[in-house]
Structures are given as structure tokens and as C-alpha cells.
Amino acid sequence: MSRNLEISKYLKISQKYLDFSTTMVHTAEYLPATGTSISSVLQGGYNHPLSREWQQEKQLTKNMFIFPLFVTDLPDEETAIPSLPNIKRWGINKLIPYVKTLVDKGLRAVILFGVPLKDGVKDLVGTAADDPEGPVILAIKALKKAFPDLYIMCDVCLCEYTSHGHCGVLYDDGSLNTEQSALRIGAVAVNYAKAGANCVAPSDMIDGRIKDIKTGLINAGLAHKCLVMSYAAKFSGNLYGPFRDAAGSAPGQGDRKAYQLPPGGAGLARRALLRDMEEGADAVIVKPSTFYLDIISDASRLCKDYPICAYHVSGEYAMLHAAAEKGILDLKGIAFEAHQGFLRAGARLIISYFTPEFLEWLEL
């Protein structure tokens, strides 16, 4: 449209509006009637539910979900965790029937957390972590036998098994013995791999453990069969409470701030990601997720040739449930929004307590 034509049309239309001025409260008298240029029309691109899906660069699929399982040493245990809605602690006898219901819906991967509940099993070095009769090793074997195609990951840490509740081995003064901790964690990882774990995922954040785990796996002849997924960027913070209720793993004294990262430490997170790749990690985890999308995005740049996993942790999950219960938001809607955010930021995998729901919600 020529400029003159445009102006005359505008004048004509504003005249028309002026004629109606007695009835119209608001008019667009200072604006041209047709203000939209071709390039500013976007809505046609997402007018239909299908075209809205096409706008996503990546779509959520069942094979990206990893479901956390809490396994106890009391064989018939089936206990709800009040702070972690819909999640239970399972004894080995109850675990298989429960997991069967999920495998039937398309579950592909689980991550195991051991929860020793028997009296007197916790000690200074977390011996129960890789007890051949302990919950994790028994669960690996039982799950492998029942579901040969299920991908079995093991969280590797000592906090559930130590009397002091810290993730490693301590000096007498209560500070962390880094070297002994990394060696002990390496040994536990090798024992999980020996039992048949497809992946070991150390969540302690103690310096040097990836190197020790990888070395141990190589020396045991298992490095070609076991993926090392490092919780490389794990922040200390306020979102692990329900997990610690579930696993009974809160530290007796002090906190984890001397080994998990400070929430403001984006640079440290980037250095830890690079360090763990150097030391032999095959994949990396960023944890928590919702408040750390920038770190997921950093990881997708720094570790672009590695699978990146977001861990939607217990506190984030419980928060969404609490908000839904209060009527603040819709649970399914917010779950999709949160998990789509992880993909957008660059994650390929998601450890999520919402996995059973997504197996229902997703077709593929």
C-alpha cells in the first residue's frame, strides 16, 4: 500500500470513528487501522494443538525418564513418605510387583537409592552401601532378572549408610577425608557394576571420585559395560528435605556445604562439569533443575557431546504438589511446563518423581 493511500485510508477510518464518538468510548484515533506487518504475524504458526507441538525443538518421550526407587532392607516394607506424595519405600519382596506395573506402561530406566532401616547397620565408612546382602545389590539382581531390558542405575553415595550421615569418610575432627572418601565411593560403584548395574551415578560431589570410579571399573574389567553418570553440578540448598526423609540421610552434624556447590557458584559448576568429563564421566547431571536452568544451558554448551540429565529433586516435586493442593496451579499442566523447561535448557534425560504420571500422559 502506498503511503498516501495508507494515510487517506487512516483519515477516512478515523473520521468514521469520530462519527460514532457519541457511542464509542475508546477509539484508535492516533493509530493506523492496519498496523500489522507480514513479519509480525506469528499466531498462525501455533493455532492448532499439533502445530503447537511442532514448535517444540524437543518433545518429552518416555525413554528420557529415569524413576527414583527407594529400596529398604526390610523385605516386606511398603511405606508412604508423607513429604514425598505418591512415592513409597519398598522392600525387595514388594519392589518387583510395583515396578512391573510401570514397566507395563513403558518405564525404561530406574535409579536405586538404598535405605537401611535395620538397627546397627550404619557405621563410619558406610559398609552397608555395598553389602552383598544389602538392599541395593539385592535389588539390582532382582530387577535384572525380572526385567532384563530395564536400565538400572544406582545412585552412589555413603550418606544413607554412614552413622554421621555425611556423603564420605571423615577425619577425627569431622572434616571430610577427600582421598579416602573417593576411594570408598569408587569401591561401592565397582560393586554395583559387578552386581549388574548398567550405570553408576555418584551424588557426593567429593573431588576425585569420578577418576577413582573409572579406574576401578577399568581394573575390574567392567568399564565397557557400565556408564558413569556424574552428578557433576550438584548444588547444596533447600530442596532435598523430602529425599532425606525418605532415605534417612540427613547429616547428624553440620551440612554438605563443604562438598556440594554453593547456589551462586555458576563458575564452580562449569569447572566441575569440565573436571568430571576430564576424569572419565560418560554423562552429567545438573541438580536441582528448575532453579538451575542456566546451569543446564551451560552444560549443554560445555558438554555438548555428552547426554545431560536434569534431576527434578524431591523438594521441587513436593512444592508443585503442595501448590496444586492449594489450588494455585494444575499439577499436570505445571509438570509438563517444568519438564519442557529442562529440555529447552538442553537436558536430554530427566530423573523425575513424576515418571509414573508421564508414563500415563505420554503416548511414546
Interacting span for ligand PBG (CB under 6 A) from 71-79, 241-249, 262-270, 272-280: 241-249
Q: Pick the closer one to ligand PBG by CB: 223 or 350.
A: 350
Cα separation, 289 vs 57, whole angstroms? 19
Interacting span for ligand PBG (CB under 6 A) from 32-40, 153-161, 169-177, 184-192: 153-161
Q: Helix or strand or coil: residue 226?
A: coil
167 binds ligand PBG (CB under 6 A): yes
| Closest C-alpha to 355, from 25, 27, 64, 31 | 64
Spatial contact of 111 and 153, defined as CB atoms under 8 Å apart: yes
66 binds ligand PBG (CB under 6 A): no
Q: Closest residue (Cβ) to ligand PBG?
A: 243
Beta bridge partners of 308: 284
Q: Give which of Zn ion, ligand PBG, none residue 246 binds (C-beta under 5 to 8 Å, depending on kind).
A: none
Which of 181, 191, 314, 355 contacts ligand PBG by CB under 6 A?
314
128: left (phi over 0), alpha (psi -120 to 50) or beta: alpha
Interacting span for ligand PBG (CB under 6 A) from 128-136, 170-178, 243-251, 302-310: 243-251
155 binds ligand PBG (CB under 6 A): yes
CA angle 261, 265, 267 (to 5 degrees): 115
Element at 154 (helix H, strand E):
strand 151-156
234 is catalytic: yes
Q: Pick the closer one to Zn ion by CB: 167 or 170.
A: 167
Q: What is the largest CA-CA distance in the chain?
A: 90
| Closest C-alpha to 222, from 202, 203, 250, 197 | 197
Count of positions on this chain that bind ligand PBG (CB under 6 A) = 12
Cα separation, 216 vs 109, whole angstroms? 24
* Residue 6: Cβ within 10 Å count: 13
| Closest C-alpha to 293, from 329, 345, 227, 232 | 345
**Strand 88-90 to 65-72 pairing:** parallel
Cα separation, 85 vs 222, whole angstroms? 37
Q: How far apart are the first and last CA of the chain?
A: 49
Q: Give which of Zn ion, ligand PBG, none residue 155 binds (C-beta under 5 to 8 Å, depending on kind).
A: ligand PBG
Which of 65, 90, 192, 240 contacts ligand PBG by CB under 6 A?
240
Q: Pick the closer one to ligand PBG by CB: 111 or 223.
A: 111
**Contact positions toward Zn ion, by CB under 5 A?**
157, 159, 167
203 binds ligand PBG (CB under 6 A): yes
Compute the least distance from the CB of residue 111 to ligand PBG, in Å. 9
Q: Helix or strand or coil: residue 283?
A: strand
Q: Pick the closer one to Zn ion by CB: 147 or 231.
A: 231
Which of 81, 112, 138, 157 contacts ligand PBG by CB under 6 A?
157
**Strand 109-115 to 65-72 pairing:** parallel
Q: Pick the closer one to ligand PBG by CB: 65 or 243.
A: 243
Catalytic residue among 194, 287, 326, 332: 287
As separate numbers, helices (DSSP H) first and strands (DSSP E) second, the chain gives: 12, 10
94 is catalytic: no
313 binds ligand PBG (CB under 6 A): yes
Q: Pick the closer one to ligand PBG by CB: 81 or 92.
A: 81
206 binds ligand PBG (CB under 6 A): no
Q: Report the catalytic residues.
A: 234, 287
> Could you list the residues that contact ligand PBG (CB under 6 A)?
155, 157, 159, 167, 203-204, 240, 243-244, 249, 313-314
